[in-house]
Amino acid sequence: MKIGLFVPCYVNAIYPEVGVAAYKLLDYFGLDVDYPVNQTCCGQPMANAGFENEAFALAKNFDKLFGQYDYIVAPSASCAAFVKFNYPSILKNSHLCRTHEKIYDVCEFIHDIIRPEKLQGKFPYVTSIHNSCHGVRELHLSSASELNIPRYSKIKNLLSLMESITIVEPAKADECCGFGGMFAVEEPAVSVCMGEDKIKNHIAAGAEYITGADSSCLMHMQGIAARNRIPVRFIHAVQILASGL
């Protein structure tokens, strides 16, 4: 299968090691991975701010670049969800979207498509899983508490394949951290309070590291933790999964 690796803006600019880890992990499974060098932002920031029309050119470019691949994989639940659920309507007056049915978050792709039984490497730390809103309620990386269904977590399942890791989850496991894209800009005081509450729950669970599928959420909490001098570290789930490769 031919894989197109999509690396979102903030990963490329702030956390390039997450993109490298995603490539390394996909390559480890023997996949044919390509990185289109002309890729750009998917357009989520514009649409979240109420200017979806300004995301059209970016969506059109994305669909052209990535339409040729069997799967599109991104180390970002929110960006993958944006393409999956918003592109058909954004492109409806131009052409039939070719990419929305092919895109996966990297954790989702490995769990659902690759289905490994074991991963190399060790991560000997107490690691608390942050379940981002898009990951839970759009990509179904874990169960949403309001649905009253049996509890599951795809990220937890994958991390359990590592040696020495201790996996925990905070109270109110699927509660928002307060980032929410434009919400953090428009309502910073509320956003920070939500992040502080979330971090407290992770700490109470015994976390040495906080991990998840969205660097944006981790970045938000990392900034709050740094300002408040809270001794906890942050790492994207794909970095843990690729750490022994």
Per-residue pLDDT of 103-127, as tens digits, reads 999 999 999 999 999 998 899 999 9
44 in a structural domain: yes
Q: Determine the average pLDDT of the residues in 51-74.
A: 96
Neighbours of 88 (CB within 10 A): 15
Question: What residue numbers bound the domain in which 199 lies?
Answer: 126-241
Q: Are residues 172 and 217 in the same domain?
A: yes
Give tens-digit pLDDT for 180-199: 888 988 999 999 999 999 99
Tell me, what's the pLDDT at 181?
82
Strand positions, DSSP E, the chain:
2-5, 32-34, 71-74, 103-105, 126-130, 166-168, 209-212, 233-236
pTM reported for the whole predicted model: 0.95
d(CA 187, CA 236) in angstroms, rounded, equals 25
Q: Are residues 130 and 235 in the same domain?
A: yes
Q: For all residues of the chain together, what is the average pLDDT? A: 96
3-class DSSP state for residue 106?
Answer: helix
Q: Are residues 29 and 135 in the same domain?
A: no
Neighbours of 174 (CB within 10 A): 20
- Give the neighbor-by-neighbor strand order of the sheet with 166-168: 166-168, 126-130, 209-212, 233-236
Question: In this model, does residue 231 exceed pLDDT 90?
Answer: yes
Alpha-carbon Rg of the chain, whole angstroms?
17
Residue 192: CATH number of its domain: 3.40.50
Last residue of a domain, one of 63, 88, 114: 114
3-class DSSP state for residue 212?
Answer: strand
Q: Are residues 152 and 100 in the same domain?
A: no
What are the structure tokens assigned to 90, written together? 């954004």
Domain count, the chain: 2
120 in a structural domain: no
Query: Which amino acid belongs to residue 196?
Result: E
The answer to whether 100 and 84 are in contact (CB under 8 A) is yes
Strand positions, DSSP E, 19-90:
32-34, 71-74
d(CA 167, CA 184) in angstroms, rounded, equals 28
Last residue of a domain, one of 88, 114, 140: 114
Q: Are residues 75 and 142 in the same domain?
A: no
| Cβ neighbours of residue 241 closer than 8 Å, sequence gap 6 or more | 21, 25, 107, 110, 119, 158, 159, 161, 162
What are the structure tokens assigned to 216, written together? 């944006």
Last residue of a domain, one of 114, 138, 158: 114
